[in-house]
Amino acid sequence: MHSIRRKRGYAFLRSARFLSRFRKSTEAASFSGNRVELFRHGGDFFPAMLEGFNSATSHICLEFYIIRNDRIGDLFARSLAEAAGRGIPVHLIYDYIGCLETPAAYFRELEKAGVRCVPFNRPPFRKGLGWFDRRNHRKYACIDGARVFLGSLNIGDEYAGFGESVGTWRDVGVRIDGAVAGEFLRMFRETWAEETGTPPAGLPAATASPPGTGAAHVMVVNGAPHHTHSFIRSSFRMAIAGAAKSVRIITPYFVPGPRVVRSLLRAAMRGVRIQILLPAISDVPLVNIASRAYLSPLLKEGVEIYERKGTVLHAKVMLIDGCWATLGSANLDFRSFHRNYEVNVIVDHTGFGTQINQMFDEDLSRSGRITLEAHESRGWFERLLERLCDPIRRFL
């Protein structure tokens, strides 16, 4: 099996047998004929998304984990208010915990402008603090049931630039036009109904698939804590298991757990080149400490691990064999696997994969490699901190 994969390369990922197993393990929705555009930086993503709001003709629905009351948050609110003022139904789900620092007046003003807003998981204090662990970590905008903007970008100034300073993060997004947008509309309607008890007014119950305008095959993996097992984790593990030549990973939070580590080790042992890009500077330093415990076995098996310098790395991308790209809201950590509502897309398109490869190479040129020798020589205090993180890794 391994020799067959090495000879055929990415053809294995496209085989009927592999795709059938992948969809069964992840419950992925699958769509052909999509057009995909990569935005390598938030400074490219946000102007395109705001222009999408301005050109909407039917409806706009959005889910975002964090929405800040800053410059980009103001542009975001004004664009949505203008769309609502044109008579476009606009529905927004924001995470209550993620937006704790955003004044309630921000959402009240949106409501006054005609944008229907729902906080995800508003705290039921009478039930104690169990609600706190349930988050909607998705980040996407679906427009007219025909195009979708998504990635790892929240709404805030730090996400909206070109990522070469600590105040301007390194992030990535994508626009997809085609039938896949209908799955995001379906997912949005489902989440809205779960939170409010009623379907969103003004949105179609279903959307007809627009004619195919591109060559990309796209799958959507929807993760939620009520699923019997983690579809997000399964999608990562199966993609790694299908790799014949290469696995390239960009992730800001690397607390993958033993199953994902085993998948990476198996791939490395059958000759797959694995490169993992982590942040040198993290917005959650505790996660950086916790991630160190997973590096030794990977480094010993020849996995290349790098740290991106000069900015906070927030992008979440995995590329298999140069053609099978996964990106979206999910991190390689327990929270994304088991506790968050997440959404990732898998884009199967050689041209798109080439763009991801070029982006990875650019980030690699700004990174330093972690060697096994340097990692093993870290001090006793750092090792102590790693051990202290053991009991809380599943909650990071």
- Residues with a catalytic annotation lie at 137, 139, 144, 314, 316, 321
State both tokens at 207.
């959307």
**Are the C-beta atoms of residues 151 and 171 closer than 8 Å to each other?**
yes
**Contact residues for 373 (Cβ-Cβ < 8 A; gap 6+):** none
d(C-alpha 65, C-alpha 230), whole Å: 20
Taking the CA atoms of 13, 18, 22 and 23 in sequence, report the sign of the dihedral they define. Answer: positive
d(C-alpha 210, C-alpha 34), whole Å: 9
d(C-alpha 11, C-alpha 100), whole Å: 46
State both tokens at 112.
């006054």
State both tokens at 383.
């090792």
DSSP result, 30-80:
EEEEEEEEEESSHHHHHHHHHHHHHT-SS-EEEEES-B-SSHHHHHHHHHH
Supply φ then ψ for residue 275, to 5 degrees.
-125, 130
Q: Tell the residue number behind the tokens 């959650």, with chain if given.
A: 284
**Closest listed residue to residue 248, CA positions, set 304, 300, 331:** 304
Number of H helices and number of E strands within the chain? 14, 18
Listed in order, strand segments (DSSP E) in 162-245 are 173-177, 216-223
**Are the C-beta atoms of residues 297 and 275 closer than 8 Å to each other?**
no
Question: Residue 91: CA atoms inside 13 Å, Cβ hemisphere, count?
Answer: 26
Q: Report the amino acid identity of residue 137.
A: H
Q: Report the amino acid identity of residue 305.
A: I
d(C-alpha 173, C-alpha 41), whole Å: 7
